[in-house]
Amino acid sequence: MPCRAAYVCIVILTPLSLFATIWNVGTTYKLKKVHAALELAQSGDTIIVQSGLYTEGTLTINKKLVLIGINYPVLDGEKKAEVVSIKHDSVVFNGFRVQRSGYATLDDPGGIKVYNSNNVAIINNDLYDNFFGIYIQYGKHCRIQNNKIKSLGKDEQAIGNGIHCWKSDSLLIIGNKIQGHRDGIYFEFVTHSLIWRNQSEKNIRYGLHFMFSNNDTYVTNTFNNNGAGVAVMFSHKVNMFNNTFSNNWGDAAYGILLKEISDCVMQGNRFTSNTIAVYMEGTNRIKIYKCVFQNNGWGLKIQASCMDNSIELNNFLSNTFDVSTNGSLVLNTFSNNYWDKYNGYDLNKDKIGDIPFHPLSLFAVLVEQNNPVMLLYQSLFTVLLDKSEKLIPSLTPDNFIDESPRMLKIVL
């Protein structure tokens, strides 16, 4: 088969290739069990597993091995055990269906779990109905790429995360599709890592969840129809570029929740059809730049605990409320944004409005103070309220203002 030639190339490029052995496992080979091949193999060997169903409890990989599945052989934990435990550096695990791990709250069994190991690659696997999908603890320079991770969770207390990373560094999380877990991707004490081109949807809590994780970047991911899109909490220097946050609806649903973070950049992101696109609490020195906020309940909710944040060159389109806050002191700046609610003029034709725009409406302030007021939305009362506020400002902060609103939608 052409693919086998590729596998042979992998072996040839292995540092111990001159002495490596290829072990074949399957019904038509001498070895019938994956366990047997793991016992016989030496460091640097490759194990090729043919398609079929393998119910062997926990498979522990404690040598430097390459494991390759042909036509997705099924490793079934039968709801009793962790399916694959990786406990050695430089393991490659490619092309398996890993399913039905055990469920437990003390030791967090996973479909695939990496223990204190570096340079592990988990690629092109199909994980189904596991407690945790892929779990890495104390890992460095590991790669999780092009995996499909799906579970059937309905209660966040009874299901783990799709990709769970803890106390790790320099991870690559690329091109995975995650669905039906507590959090799609979870980072805790993870640094210098990249999350790129993943699709995380229909998870119970968050599509992506950061806790105490610094100097990370996530780029071009899609977070759709989760309990809430993303939470970045108690972290700093996180870069968030070109991601899509959509259809996260609910009483406490956000496109993204930013809590107690600092020195981060959000650029080129798209927020569509979320209850609250961006909720900010205790955030400092965050730059929100060239993003699109469209068809959300609230574009931005910026709590009074936030300061020195910059909101610049963004498009605000068809949101119920573009901006809301719970305080009167404004320590953040708005500049050069396009607001579709702006009714100003541009006499000098420089494409910048000649009068400033106040994005915070009086009705938004009243709703923030008393939620049931929302029942009056789009009534004659709210129209009169906002018009009177423009003539005689009273409750909205004077310095909650964009001094240079754009007249035309910004091309991003």
CA–CA dist 180, 176 (Å, integer): 14
- In this prediction, residue 68 carries a pLDDT of 97
Tell me how far apart the alpha carbons of residues 51 and 184 are, in angstroms, rounded to a whole number. Answer: 28
Helix (H), strand (E) counts: the chain: 4, 39
pLDDT digits (tens, 9 = 90+) for 96-126: 999 999 988 778 899 999 999 999 999 999 9
Per-residue pLDDT at 256: 96
Q: Which CATH number fits domain 2-391: 2.40.160.20, 3.30.70.890, 2.160.20.10, 2.40.440.10?
A: 2.160.20.10
- 339 with 317: CB under 8 angstroms? no
**Tens-digit pLDDT profile for residues 248-260:** 887 778 999 999 9
For residue 363, what pLDDT is reported?
Answer: 58
pLDDT score, position 1: 36
Residue count of the chain, please give it: 412
* pTM of the predicted structure, to 2 decimals: 0.88
Spacing of C-alpha 7 from chain mean position: 32
The residues facing 300 across adjacent strands are 278, 323
Spans of the chain below 50 pLDDT: 1-18
Q: For position 4, what pLDDT does the model report? A: 35
Alpha carbons 209 and 231: distance in angstroms, whole number: 5
